[in-house]
Amino acid sequence: MKPKFEPNAKYQPKEFTFKSKKKVKNILANYPSNQARSGIMPLLDLAQRQMGEEGAKAKKPFGGWITRAAMDHIAEVVGQPPMKVYEVATFYSMYNLAPVGKNLVQFCTTTQCWLCGSTKILEAAEKHLKVKIGESTKDGLFTLKEVECLGACVNGPMIQINDDYYEDLTAETMVDVLIALTAGKKPNVGSQTKRHGSMALSGPTSLEKEAKKAGVV
């Protein structure tokens, strides 16, 4: 679930500016000059990534999130009232409107992942990190979040951590991923059973010759 947007909360920094004017210019160049508001979504993403980069260097790390000051700045950049930016930012689940951990662990608990064991991997993560869904660890390294289908149903149960998918998880491999991240390592992304893409575990069941020819089996 998405945390509430608290525009006047104490944790909201007073100011925000984009570090890279070039990136802002490139985003706006994708749209006609009288449609600059179309750039709201990519600018929100840029702001979130900038906050993530800065936060990762902080003593207590935190991940990417979008401050109210950033939203107000984006409104100025695209020439719209701030409310137009708040509307977009509060609607989409990928925009974090409150501080999150350096690793935002998003659990898909929709039908397919649930049938394949999402409850077990979620419980394993909660137990290992000693936090509940919606909470962050004290060291600022992890935040756990429940989300709807992430579109990788055939490799469920799966999670998304920042920009990466980890699929075909078990309680054990879930914990392995967390241990690696805690140690500052980058776990292998994708299927944790090392299957190729979404191929059946027993190997290709159709187009076998073509798969061999393409060198994927």
Task: Using CB under 6 A, list all residues that contact ligand FES.
Answer: 108, 110-113, 149-153, 156, 158
**Residue closest to 128 by CA, chosen among 117, 142, 111:** 142
Tokens linked to 210: 């073509």
Beta carbon nearer to ligand FES, 88 or 147: 147
Of 70 and 153, the one with the shorter C-beta distance to ligand FES is 153
- CB of residue 153 to ligand FES, shortest distance in Å: 3
How far apart, in Å, are the Cα atoms of 176 and each of 5, 85, 179, 203?
33, 39, 5, 25
- We find the least distance from the C-beta atom of residue 23 to ligand FES, in angstroms, to be 30
Locate 22 and state its tokens: 């070039």
| Closest C-alpha to 107, from 87, 132, 75 | 132
Nearest approach, Cβ of 30 to ligand FES (angstroms)? 29
Q: Are 134 and 100 in contact (CB under 8 A)?
A: no
Nearest approach, Cβ of residue 7 and ligand FES (Å): 32
Rounded to a whole number of angstroms, the minimum distance from the CB of residue 156 to ligand FES is 5
Residue closer to ligand FES (CB basis): 44 or 153:
153
Q: Of 80 and 110, which CB lies nearer to ligand FES in the complex structure?
A: 110
Smallest gap, in angstroms, from Cβ of residue 198 to ligand FES? 11
Q: Are 130 and 123 in contact (CB under 8 A)?
A: no
Closest CA to 72 of 7, 2, 6: 7
Under a CB-based contact definition with an 8 Å cutoff, are residues 125 and 179 in contact? no
Residue number, 96 or 109, with CB nearest to ligand FES: 109
Residue with Cβ nearer ligand FES (47 or 158): 158
Query: Cα dihedral sign for 169, 114, 160, 153?
Result: positive
Give 81's contacts (C-beta < 8 A, 6+ positions apart). Answer: 75
